[in-house]
Structure 1
């Protein structure tokens, strides 16, 4: 039998080279519906596999993935992007913005500090506009610090593990939006979730005190840089334009 996908000659139900099934059915409305429902509800593979095991056993799941157990797991960077997209969708329909407080005409701090207020508002709007990019950058910030302090794995492996961590922390934050509506870059639920997930992932990498130091500095640097970097970009724009 010749594989329809890679042209390999083989016998059996699956191609040994690319995994293509030997039997393929024509697309029908029923097939598309069944495939979609299976993808969305399957807890043994893909997005819901990540959701299930990152909730029940985050450290074990992430370290198993890094050690090679990857067949059923949804790509960590795709997971983070999907989580950010889900958060933005839910947050949009709850119609909440931190900038409302700044638009209050009785805001005396704003009147007394008009320059700082305007610059702060620019940073806030800039972060909110490009939130998905800044939360992806947070993966880099967390990874650099954990790599420099813990050193058990290489930098790319820390990028992978922190993509899982950021993605799942944002999923947790999204679940709590109906109860606690605060922008994600100020939301304590996000940072508490990141800290817990990082602890379970890295707790066996080094002495406990070293792990706690890594958690503290990586989250602190991540939090500060998500305001410093856009502030620097806006400052550069004012110089250039």
Structure 2
């Protein structure tokens, strides 16, 4: 069963979350400050990190930025309700999802399961549609989770990888935000939820390091289109 690291300075909340998630069989570790959390995250073998934004010694955003330099373990950010800027920055830095405090334990459980399903799907050796994808100078290999743009390796989070794969499998076709949210994020699209937009923006930035042409087109209010090529 998956090992989960909780990094939050609210000891009582950590214990409540740990007790609740333990009912599903997860293995839980807890750390209550940023620097210790970063060390634990870098040295541990975790399938998911629950990361609070407000932490002593090193805040959650700083921790995430440091972690993402060489570690792509999925991260679920825990943010104060109404702090939209923290959510946006967290997603820009590579968080897989966010949840506003206070939250319903069942919503946390659903988000955790959705992220772990994405990771399991992306890492599964017997990928149901495991053929190599190559479109518009981007190559995606579901078997080893590698993405290359014009021969250069692109490091993606599990969420970014699955979004790109879905878009590439439907290259030249509009993929609705609702479909992406349901199939990749594991939940219905919600009003004012910027998660998809930020994940797609991250993918664009990573691809644009090695390509000048646009790969993913946004059809405002509808969804996204992976382009076959320039013009």
TM-score by length of 1: 0.29
More helix per residue: 1
Report 1 or 2 for greater relative contact order, CA contacts < 8 Å, sequence distance ≥ 6.
1
The structure that is strand-richer by fraction is 2
Q: Max radius of gyration: which structure?
A: 1
